[in-house]
Amino acid sequence: MLAIKTLAPKSVIFRRTVKLMGDLFEISVVGNNPGWADDRIDDAISEINRVEKLLSTFSDDSTINEINRNAGIKPVKTDPEIFRLIDRSTQISGLTHGAFDITYCTIEKELADAAEATVKNKPALINYQSVELDAKEQTVYLKEKGMRIGFGANCKGYASDRAKYVLQMLGVSSGVINAGGDLLAWGAQPDDQPWTVGTADVSQKSQPFANIDISNMAVATSVNAEKNTPSISNTKVSRVNAIKGFPISDIKSVTIISPSAELADSMATPIMSIGINAGLYLINQLNQMACIIVDDHERLYTSRDISIIN
C-alpha cells in the first residue's frame, strides 16, 4: 500500500491593527492556523488593555491615582507589578540624570491663591529623587504635596513587552508588535529570515539608509518636533522638560534598539535631551543597547558595535 505524505500548512504572517492606549497597534503573529492566530491576537489585545487600566490615572480607584492623592501624606501599598515598574523607572531617571522622569506636578486647590509660589516650587515637585520606595513593604511615597507620577513616556513599551510575554507563553514563537511606530520583534519571518527595519530618519521614509536586524529586539524612535513637519506619523514627539533646560536643537531624531520595548521607549527622548556626544557615551556604557541619531544636517551617528546590514 502506498503511503501518502501530507504537507503541513505553510506558515504566514497574520496581522491586525487596532486602536489601543490612544494609538494604533499592529499585532502580527506567525502561524499556519487563522483561527489560532486570531485568538492569540485577541490575547495580546486583552493584555495591552489590562496594562492600560493598571496604569490609568483616569480611574478614581486606580493604584496610581491613590499614590498621587497621598503625595506628601503617606506611603501607599502597591502590587508587585506596579512597584517594579516604578522602581525601574526611577533607575532610568538616575541613569539619565533626570532626563527621563515619571514625576510631574499639578496646582492643588489649597495653592490656588499662591500660584506664583507653586510655579517657583515646580523643580522640587518634578524630581524622581522624591519618590520613596520601600521594597520590603512594597510601598510608594511621593514626598512632596502636589507631586504626581504617570507613565505616558513608557507605558506603550511596557504594554508591548507584556503582550509579547503572553504570546510567547501561548506558543507564538515569532511575531511583531508595532505600537504607534515603535517595534518589538521576536523569532523570525516565515522564510526564516530575521525581522528588519529600514529607516532611522523619519523625514526620508522612502529612502532608508540601511536594514537593521531587529529580531528579538525592540526599536523606539523619538522625534524633535521642531525639526520635522506635523505630517510625520508613527513617531513619538519629543517631550523635553523645559524646567531642566536640556538643549535639543542639534538632534532631529533618536532611535534606540534594546531587548526591552519599555527600556527603548524610556531612553529615546532622554538621549535627544542630553545631546549627541553625551547620549552616545551613555548608550556605549550599556549592554545590549544601540542608538542611531540623525542631526538637523541629516548626519548619521551610531553607537558602538551597532549591527547594520547595508
What pLDDT band is residue 102 in, cutting at 50, 70 and 90?
very high
The arithmetic mean of pLDDT across residues 63-81, rounded, is 96
CATH number for the domain including 70?
1.10.3980.10
Does residue 215 carry a pLDDT above 70? yes
User: What is the C-alpha separation between 175 and 195, in angstroms, rounded?
Assistant: 9
On whether residue 186 sits in a domain, the answer given is yes
- Of the candidates 157, 131, 182, the one whose C-alpha atom is nearest the C-alpha of residue 52 is 157
Q: Which residue has the higher pLDDT, 159 or 242?
A: 159
C-alpha cell at 190: 516565515
Q: What are phi and psi of 193, to 5 degrees?
A: -85, 150
Backbone angles phi, psi at 167, to 5 degrees: -60, -40
What is the count of structural domains for the chain?
Answer: 2
Mean pLDDT of 298-306: 85
Determine the Cα–Cα distance for residues 57 and 193; give it in Å rounded to an integer: 41
Say what the pLDDT of residue 226 is. Answer: 61
Q: How confident is the model at residue 23 (pLDDT cuts 50, 70, 90)?
A: very high
Instruction: Pick the more confident residue, 23 or 306.
Output: 23
What residue has cell string 519629543? Answer: 238
Mean pLDDT of the chain: 84
Is residue 197 located within the same domain as residue 261? yes
Residue 157 to residue 133: CA distance in whole angstroms: 22
Please enumerate, as own/partner, the contacts of 302-305 that have beta carbons within 8 Å and a separation of 24 or more. Answer: none
Looking at the structure, tell me whether residues 217 and 273 fall in a common domain. Answer: yes
Domain of 118 in residue numbering reads as 63-149
Say which CATH number the domain at 190 has. 3.10.520.10
Q: What is the pLDDT of residues 29-58, one digit of tens each?
A: 999 999 999 999 999 999 999 999 999 888
pLDDT of residue 209: 55
Q: Which of the pair, 164 or 269, is modelled with greater confidence? A: 164
Distance in angstroms (rounded) separating the CA atoms of residues 31 and 173: 9
**Cβ–Cβ under 8 Å, residues 55 and 155:** yes
- 28 within domain boundaries: no
- Span 265-279, pLDDT tens digits: 999 999 988 999 999
- Residue where the block lists cell 492556523: 33
- Residue 213, pLDDT > 50, answer yes
